[in-house]
Every structure is written in C-alpha cells, then in structure tokens.
Amino acid sequence: MRERIDFSDVTFRYQEDAPPVLKDVDFFIDKGEWVAIIGHNGSGKSTIAKLMNGLLFAESGDVSVDGSVIHTDNVWEIRKKVGMVFQNPDNQFVGTTVRDDIAFGMENHGVPREVMLEKVAEVLRDVQMESYEEHEPHRLSGGQKQRVAIAGVLAVAPDYMVLDEATAMLDPKGRQDILETVREVQEHSDLTLITITHDLREIVAADRVIVMNEGEVWFEGTPREVFAHKDALSTIGLDVPFVAKLTQEMKKHGISFDREPLNHEEMVEELW
Ligand code: ADP
C-alpha cells in the first residue's frame, strides 16, 4: 500500500440540482512531498481540502488516505492523519491559553498529561513560539495565531498537514515566515505538506504544484513548469508576480539578466 492521498476521478457538488464544483479530479500526493494547490477564487481548492479529511465526501470517485477510502466510519482515524489549518485561526481556538489550546487536540486523542506537556513545549519550539505557553491565543498577532494553530495540528502528529489559505490574512513578510517555518518542520520530519493558495508567490518553494481551474485540474508540475505557462496563467485568473512578469517582458525585448538562472531559494527571495 502506497502512503499517499489519492483523488481518483472525484466529482462533487454542494446541491443536487447545481453543476459540480469538482469534475473528475484526479491526482495524488505522496508522503513527504510539499504540494501546493493553486487556483483562482472559486476554483474548488477549499472543497478539495475538505474532502481530504472527511469534512465533505465525494459524490463519485474516491478520496483515499494511505489506501483507505474516506467514508463516514473512518473520519476520526483520517482526521488524526490529516491535520487542517484554515485561514482564520480565531475560529479554531478552544483553549484560554496557548498551552491549553494545543493540549486540547491531544486530550481528544487520549494522550497522558506528562507526555502532553512535553509535546506542547516541543511543538511550540517547532513554530518559534516557546515563550508563549501562558498567553491568550486571541490576543496574539495574526502570524503568531497561525503558528499556534500549526503547533496544535503538529501536536497530534499527523502524517499530512493541509494549510488552506492559512497565510491569506498576513502581510507578505508574515506569509513568507510561516511558509519557511512549515518547510523547516517538514524537512525535519516525514510530514507531507499541502498548501492551498491563490498567490503564485506561495508555490515557488513547493516540490510540486497542482493548478485548479473551474473545478478541474488544469496543470500539474514543478513550480518552474508552472511559471513556464506564465501567459496562460493570467487567463485563468492567476496574477503572475511582478518579477516574473518583468523577466518575461525583458525576454520579449531580447534583454536577458546577465547571470545564471535563479535557484528556488533565490526565486523566493526575489518574489517577496
Ligand atoms: P476556492 O477554495 O478555490 O475559492 P471553493 O472550493 O471554496 O473554491 O468553492 C468552489 C465552488 O463551490 C464555488 O463556486 C463556490 O461558490 C461553491 N461553494 C463553496 N462552498 C459552498 C457551499 N457551502 N454551498 C454551495 N456552494 C459552495
């Protein structure tokens, strides 16, 4: 059995008489990968996220995690494997302190108290929030809130972590910092990262990208391959970041940068 999330010809609609919002969506995400899912507003990204951990179920086709098709009987098992971080962390906080909040998820999974406290400290270190155990989650800054939400998910030790527009409420620096943090966590663990975004800058450092358009997979490839379709991206509502646009314009006019092509880290640096 392959350890992966598998969408096999998934169709989904919210209302019986409405057209499907996902049409024959077919892709997989292997364990250990960082896959970015990008698409314009309404292209079906959040619906995909919700299908990944049993908040919604496929109308036809299958969504499976490590070989088990997600259905009503195994959602709790699936949710332990697939953690979710959403756009607005305030809707996810349940504890009055950061420590209680992170512990809550573990309590639900029956973790003993001493193990729990150790784990809280560990995951707060992972997200660079170690001195915030006693703080009230609601009073933190936007970026700090998302770090706590991420720590809460990490505490349950999922195999897959889905960040659904989790950086959308942050400023560019905050967004970049969060992505760097989750990348670092991923590099030191077996965690599989699925980041959902409508911002092309957020796909650059991913291993692989799935581009959605109107409920269908429009393209799948490396960030470099996605950027090679620059012209087409703007036709499906994705704004090409300034630097990429500029490079393209310069090329058109026969002007090239007097240097080697950028590697991933340099591209990230340039784009933000
Ligand atoms: P994205 O995350 O890419 O913005 P969504 O998955 O949220 O896209 O939405 C895909 C489509 O499904 C959109 O047309 C949206 O209006 C519709 N949709 C999303 N949620 C619901 C819902 N709860 N009821 C009905 N339609 C919905």
For a ligand 1 pocket test, name from 21, 50, 216 the mutation site with the most ligand atoms within 8 angstroms of its C-beta.
21
Fold (CATH) for 4-271: Rossmann fold (3.40.50)
Domain ranges of the chain: 4-271
Q: What share of the chain is helix, strand, coil (3-state, %, to 5)?
A: 45, 20, 35
The pTM (predicted TM-score) of the whole model is: 0.90
> E-strand spans in 136-250?
160-164, 192-197, 208-213, 216-221
User: What is the pLDDT, as a whole number, of residue 89?
Assistant: 85
What CA dihedral angle connects 88, 56, 199 and 257, to 10 degrees? 140
Residue 14's CB is within 10 A of a number of other CB atoms, namely 10
Question: For ligand 1, atom 23, which residue shows the shortest CA distance?
Answer: 14
Rg (CA), the chain: 19
Kindly report the backbone phi and psi dihedral angles of residue 73, in degrees, each rounded to the nearest multiple of 5, phi listed first.
-80, -20
Amino acid (one-letter) located at 25:
V
Query: What is the C-alpha end-to-end distance of the chain, expressed in Å?
Result: 40
The CA distance from 67 to 82, in Å, is 14
Contact between residue 49 and residue 164 where contact means Cβ atoms under 8 Å apart? yes
DSSP class of residue 72?
Answer: G
CA dihedral sign of residues 256, 262, 266, 272: positive
Q: Kindly state the tokens that stand for 8.
A: 């096999």
Residue ranges of the chain with pLDDT lower than 70? 248, 256-272
User: What is the pLDDT, as a whole number, of residue 264?
Assistant: 64
User: What is the pLDDT, as a whole number, of residue 269?
Assistant: 67
> E-strand spans in 46-147?
60-65, 68-69, 82-85
Q: Ligand 1 centroid vs 13 CA: distance in angstroms?
A: 9
Q: Ligand 1 centroid vs 21 CA: distance in angstroms?
A: 7
User: What is the pLDDT, as a whole number, of residue 258?
Assistant: 54
Q: Ligand 1 centroid vs 136 CA: distance in angstroms?
A: 32
